[in-house]
Structure 1
Amino acid sequence: MAVYQVSVLLVLKFQGRSLLNLEHDTNKHSGQVVHTMIFNSFILCQIFDAFNARKPDEFNVFRGITKNHCFMGIVGVTVLLQVVIINFLGKYASTVRLNWSQWLISVVIGFISWPLAVLGKLIPVPKTHFWVARVEDLEQ
């Protein structure tokens, strides 16, 4: 997940102006939009990944989610704060308002963590860790 997030954020940092069609904006405004997109995408990646972290060994990360009021509250407050920060606290948070397509791009970037987590769960992992097996071999 870290590799995915770092890759996406680096692509936004270095290719964001062209990918987001901001070449005709002023350098200052396009830079602010790119930095806001990086911030927004990072936070949304963390929110989507929080669902994966709830059930690291299960494919259905939503099982029992409605019973976990604390988790739902934290996610809800985080999403609400993110919207407020982006839309209303730009002066204090050094962000600019994003349009709907930029919000959609940020949400899609975060959403991709769900199928990536499923793919990661398909990778077989040995029952014993490599270093534990090696220590046991040395003791014999």
Structure 2
Amino acid sequence: MLVTFKFNGRAVLGFINIDKQHAVSKKMTFYSFVLCQIFSQVNSRELEKINVLKGIHRKPRFSLAMIFIFGLQVSFNEVAHILVVDERLNLAEWCVCLLIGAVSCPVDSAAKCAWNLVKNRHFGSHNRTTSAVS
């Protein structure tokens, strides 16, 4: 998805001024990738369970770390445009990046469902035959 956004970002970003489309497309690709990594960290809390948010309130350091990483990315965007004289992302562009990053959650859930289905179908039948023999 990010590769498509990288090479066809101008078509997706029709609502942005043509002069700054290329720079914004590059920044949105980068920040979408960073947000995918943040959501991936949340998804990797529970490797086999689909509900990765269950019990997240019991680990406040993890939540603070995720908020801190996101805050650093936003502040880096705000400072970088001053230092490098680059385009900065507006709220709509940040929301698009957030939505692209959040796509990793349903993809991860679908992968976990498929793995659980395969595991139960393949390994579950093996366990039933060995327990019947015993």
Which residue is equivalent to 2:126? none
Pick from 2, 11, 22: which aligns with 1:18?
A: 11
Q: Does 1:37 align with 2:44?
A: no
* Rg larger in structure: 2
Conservation of the 8 A alpha-carbon contact between 1:36 and 1:95:
no
Which residue is equivalent to 1:70? 61
Partner of 1:89, secondary structure, is: helix
Within 2, Cα distance between the matches of 1:117 and 1:63?
A: 15
Partner of 1:63, secondary structure, is: coil
Q: Does 1:111 align with 2:95?
A: no
Pick from 37, 44, 55: which aligns with 2:46?
A: 55
1:93/1:39 Cα in 2 relative to 1: closer, same or farther (>3 Å)? farther
Within 1, Cα distance between the matches of 2:42 and 2:73?
A: 17
Alignment gaps of 5+ in structure 1: 1-7, 128-140
Letter in 1 for 2:99: V
TM-score by length of 2: 0.78
Output the aligned Cα RMSD.
2.0
Aligned length: 118
Answer with 92-101 or 42-51: which moved more. Answer: 92-101
When you count helix as a share of all residues, which structure comes out higher? 2
Within 2, Cα distance between the matches of 1:94 and 1:117?
A: 37
TM-score by length of 1: 0.75
